[in-house]
Chain A
Amino acid sequence: MKRVALIGMPNTGKSTFFNRVTGASARVGNWPGITVDLLTAKILLGGDMVELVDLPGIYDVHGFSDDERVVRQLLETAPIDLVAIVLNAVQVDRQLALAIEVARLGLPSVLLLNMADEAKQFGIRIDTAKMAELLGMPVTLVSAKYGHGQPEAMAAMARALATSVPASTDAIRSRLAEVDRIENDAASVIGAAVDIPERLPAHVSDRIDAVLLHPWLGIPIFFLLMFLVFQGVFHLGEPMQQGLNRVFEWFKGAALVPLFAGLPVLLSGFLLDGVYGGLVTVAAFVPLIVLFFLFMAVVEDSGYLSRAAFLTDALMSRLGLDGRGFVMMLLGFGCNVPAAMGTRIMRSRPLRLLTMLVIPVSLCSARLQVFMFLAGAIFTVQQAPWVIFSLYLASFGAAILTALVFRRSYRSDEPFVIELPPYRLPTARQIGLRAWQEVRHFLHRATKFIVIGVVLIWLLTHLPSSVPPGSAGTLAGMLGHAFEPLLSPLGIDQQLTLALIFGFIAKEVMIGAFAVIFGLEGQALATHLHASFDWVQAYSFMLFTLIYTPCLSTIATLRAESNSNRFALVSLAWGLALAWGVSLAFYQTMRHFGY
């Protein structure tokens, strides 16, 4: 099968183009360098199936950053039949050098000038025929966001592929060495074929930036925006969650209870209270997760993340981090795993490691579910969003503390120079695709971990069968008892301890675990929790859950990305110690003042 590679600079919409062509789901982020894994898909091109590879965004092929090294290694080792170079038509004056570099390597290429719609708004006219003649490769204008020019681009790729003679990887390796004169060549082609107005019309981005990047208002506006997002998620998601709970309860009463009536009590209890109870308690959170990722996708694709990096770099530099680290924390609000992988854009190892130490305290969407559930059960509807917001602030606080403790051990002097993309209005399709991908990821994780988790918890709370379920005589009771001296000073009792132990695997298991441990689900579970725990206990438990460890996947990712067992252990031990200290301080202080 022939192989087609997509190459382009960060922020050119390369991944958007890939998504549109493959109909699949590469992650799209308006943030330089977010595409870190190699995505491939098989597509039909000119009557043949070809393999399309989406390479990381790169500035050139010299290989100074990890991403550039990845691309260079691929070009030097894997035969490629066609390279589709994706450039931003608005910035073609400085990006064209990449196309010439690739052509110089002897790789059969086509040039796709993306964001043709934006270029048109800027008054930039590109003579594609002239440019194709000068470059010696087909050139087409596309707008991946709206799908304009896609058929033409596909046709050009198919034509080029039919006649392509791939260069040998040896030849490419030798030519990679001689790519110096490229920038001069780019300048002469630009001079001949591109007409850029001297002064660009005042763009909307400037007016938005005047407010959002305001020296004094910028940071408060940032927090206000985040608060509005979480308010929106909570107030829109809460009724949907209640509705789903009622549906699940009705289904249980109407269909499952009669269906399992003939089974032995132990088995029907296992299926109803164990597997079904655990699964639906988690499933009720799907609308919340969808909403959360819809909002995140808007923020991420709009170009605001780079602004957040600008606003926070002054603080972050004092913590030994940089603005990109802050953005990784924000991405960690979705899931810590891609955030940890995103640190690959940093070249200095100490900076990368320090950023990776900070990421695990980011309040990810899985932890958000636990907090939504507990806040909804323990606090009033008016208080709950503030409780959630305070936990986000605690997440930032824990990150700052972590960086302060470790910044001397991981000193770095990496320059901070990044591009600030113009604001873009994400299309509904882009956002929908992103949100759907996240939901699929969530459901996959949730079902995988939860089924195993709830089954284990059910067994622990019901064995041996000679003692009452959930009592001190069960395996779970013994386990909780063993941890009691350590966790009772934090107000965390034996049942909550069990939920924490399973939350270690994945936070999605925790709510399922509550359902199984207490043998209740939905509103009944919330009512029971409200009666069993006061707010100081609940908040102490939430603080501990926030900090002690993200999940097994994150720890595995930290190990893989740092290539160090020691680093993964340091991160794990620090999280446990910090969680214990913070919860203890909170719980004892509150109790001391009589709450």
Chain B
Amino acid sequence: MTPLLDLRPGDAATVAAIHADAGLRQRLAALGFRIGRRVELIREGAFSGPLHVRLGTTDVILRRKQAAQIDVKR
């Protein structure tokens, strides 16, 4: 298990655990972050900007801080 943050652009992995409070967990779930879902890192923003990830047909951008709260299995 590694944090989503550690993926490199082009890598895909499976969501394994989400360490977030209820509010954020719910928002993430609504956008498709659920245990077992495939997630692909598309690109990283310059200057420590946000990450652009893809879950199924949905594209999501999230800050590195939130990406550190999501664990994935390769």
Known A91-B57, A309-B61, A310-B61: A416·B49 in contact at CB below 8 Å: no
Q: Is A493 an interface residue (CB 8 A)?
A: no
Q: Is the CB of A419 within 8 A of B23?
A: no
User: Closest CB-CB distance, A164 to chain B, in whole Å?
Assistant: 28
Q: Is the CB of B58 within 8 A of A415?
A: no
Q: Is the CB of B34 within 8 A of A183?
A: yes
Q: Tell me which of A213, A218, A347, A415 has the highest count of chain B C-beta atoms within 10 A of its own C-beta.
A: A415
Looking at chain B's contact residues, the main secondary structure is mixed
Q: Is the CB of B66 within 8 A of A415?
A: yes
In the complex, which residue of chain A has the Cβ closest to the Cβ of B69?
A415
Contact of A416 among B29, B32, B50, B58 (CB under 8 A): B50
Among the 9-residue stretches A22-30, A57-65, A136-144, A446-454, the one with 4 or more Cβ atoms under 8 Å from chain B is A57-65
Q: Is the CB of A420 within 8 A of B61?
A: yes
Known A310-B52, A315-B47, A415-B24: A91·B63 in contact at CB below 8 Å: no
What CA separation (Å) do A311 and B62 show in the bound complex? 12
Q: A162-193 CB contact bits vs B (8 Å, 1 = yes)? A: 00000000000000000000010000000000
Q: Is A90 an interface residue (CB 8 A)?
A: yes
Known A310-B45, A311-B49, A323-B50: A418·B57 in contact at CB below 8 Å: no
Q: A181-222 CB contact bits vs B (8 Å, 1 = yes)? A: 001000000000000100010000100010001011010000
Contact of B23 among A91, A196, A216, A347 (CB under 8 A): A347
Known A183-B34, A417-B62: A196·B28 in contact at CB below 8 Å: no
Looking at chain A's contact residues, the main secondary structure is mixed
Q: Is A586 an interface residue (CB 8 A)?
A: no
Q: Is the CB of B49 within 8 A of A314?
A: yes
Known A310-B52, A416-B66: A183·B29 in contact at CB below 8 Å: yes
Q: Is the CB of B52 within 8 A of A420?
A: yes
Known A94-B56, A183-B29, A196-B56: A314·B61 in contact at CB below 8 Å: no
Q: Which residues of B contact A90 (CB under 8 A)?
A: 57
Known A64-B26, A216-B46, A311-B49: A419·B57 in contact at CB below 8 Å: no
Q: B27-68 CB contact bits vs A (8 Å, 1 = yes)? A: 111111010000000111111111010011111111101100
Give 29 A-B contacts (CB < 8 Å), ordered by A residue: A59-B30, A59-B31, A60-B30, A90-B57, A91-B56, A93-B56, A94-B31, A122-B57, A183-B29, A183-B34, A196-B56, A196-B57, A200-B57, A209-B42, A306-B61, A310-B45, A314-B45, A315-B47, A415-B20, A415-B27, A415-B62, A415-B65, A416-B50, A417-B24, A417-B27, A417-B28, A419-B58, A420-B59, A420-B61
B-contacting residues of A (Cβ < 8 Å)? 9, 59-60, 62, 64, 90-91, 93-94, 122, 183, 196, 200, 205, 209, 213, 215-216, 218, 306, 309-311, 313-315, 317, 322-323, 347, 415-422
A-contacting residues of B (Cβ < 8 Å)? 20, 23-24, 26-32, 34, 42-50, 52, 55-63, 65-66
Given A59-B31, A309-B61, A415-B66, output 4 extra A-B contacts at Cβ < 8 Å.
A183-B34, A314-B45, A314-B48, A415-B24
